[in-house]
Amino acid sequence: MKHFLTLLSHEVRMLLVNPATYIAAMLFLVFMGFIFTGILDSYSKTPQDTSPAIVFFQFFWFPVVFMVPLLTMKCLADERRAGTLETLFTTPVTTAEVVLGKYGAAYLFYLALWGSTGGLFYILRRFSGDARFIDTGPLIGGYLFIAVSGLLFVAIGVLASALTRNQTVAAILCFVALVLLIGGVNYLSGVGWLERDFLHHLKEAVDYARVLAHRDDFTRGVVDARQLLFYLSGTVLALIFSILGVEAKLLHS
């Protein structure tokens, strides 16, 4: 893995010089600012018992299912389409280094985008002068959840990009996978037929994978080691399959 840092720094530089990076960041911040403004508007009209931070992170899924496919769809698919990926492997680098380098750059950008939303809470605290708006517990827990769950979400995007040379198809695959993981699993957890005794283990597995329940736990300050294991193991598996997918495509190209 001696070339990993070199590849990672190259991918980060490519993101920094790409105008699309700044367009995506602006659109993300505008959208999150719109959500934040709506939350504050509702709080100004009716007293609320819930911290604004908790409500803010309840909307995390919407930007995730659209932002992650856009972040990752080009990382491998576009290079395979253009033929530059095959050229890259003529240098002394391994498939794992290439995949992890692209994954690392996408994940750092993902963290940077979400980290920039902290400015919304800073502005609120600065101009309102009311410390009650800034509940550090839900804020820390919410951003920790964003960082931990983002490991898996970005890895899924990289895997989708590794399976095809068409970046549009990669984006659609990632979008569908994220919707199924976040929304589909949450829907399954509430269906009645899973309550049957012979489906007990399936019910436990579905409850274990409920991303929205994990979000609620993190924002309440509850960090479960089983949830951390879920995201870390899922990330590792997605990256392993990404590496295998790239190698399989190279063998057949």
Q: CA of 236: how far to CAs of 99, 152, 154, 178, 205, in Å?
A: 12, 8, 11, 17, 19
Q: Please, are residues 163 and 245 in contact by the beta-carbon 8 Å criterion?
A: yes
Question: Where residue 253 falls among pLDDT bands split at 50, 70, 90?
Answer: low
Buried b (16+ CB within 10 A) or exposed e, 156-177: bbbbbbbbbbbbeebbebbbeb
Chain segment 93-141, per-residue pLDDT in tens? 888 888 999 999 999 999 999 999 988 888 877 776 555 567 788 889 9
Q: How confident is the model at residue 81 (pLDDT cuts 50, 70, 90)?
A: confident
* pLDDT tens-digit map of 19-41: 878 888 888 888 888 888 888 88
Closest CA relative to residue 242, chosen from 150, 144, 173, 145: 173
Q: State the residue for tokens 């095959």.
A: 86
- Read off the pTM: 0.91
Query: At residue 79, what are phi and psi to the nearest 5 degrees?
Result: -70, -35
What is the predicted pLDDT for the residue at 233? 96
